[in-house]
Amino acid sequence: MTNHRDRYLQDSINTASPAKLLMMLYDRLVLDLMHGEEALRGGDRESANNRIGHAQEIVMELHASLKVDAWDGAPGLANLYGFLLTELIGANIKRDADRVAACRKLVEPLRDAWREAALAPA
């Protein structure tokens, strides 16, 4: 069963448009932040470390794929990604669920805005 699910997920990623991939990354980022925060609050250090570490990887991917010359807001978004990465590293080291929650509160409106833009008629 897991193999079929993994294959479906991989096929979904391979055939997704750039806008859909961006939405998928943001959705997973929010999910990782939620679960990381919950794990920290519940004292599950290993799970928190895994989730927050994965969130850091997503932020690094978002930052690396951002074309800062493409639009006026891109440099600000790059700075935000840098801030998020710093905060997530600090939150993971200090085991600070509130810092993870603050990062999630910054990411959720971005996710929603990208989703709206991707779904808007051309």
- How do residues 12-35 score in pLDDT, each as one tens digit? 666 668 888 899 999 999 999 999
Task: Map tokens 């998928």 to a residue.
Answer: 24
Please state the φ and ψ torsions of residue 69, each to the nearest 5 degrees.
-90, -5
pLDDT the model gives residue 61: 96
For 18-119, the fitting CATH number among 2.30.250.10, 1.10.357.10, 1.20.120.340, 3.40.50.1820 is 1.20.120.340
**CB-count burial class (<10 Å; 0-12, 13-18, 19+) for 56:** buried
pLDDT the model gives residue 15: 67
pLDDT the model gives residue 18: 82
Q: Output the pTM of the full model.
A: 0.87
Question: Which positions of the chain have pLDDT values less than 50?
Answer: none
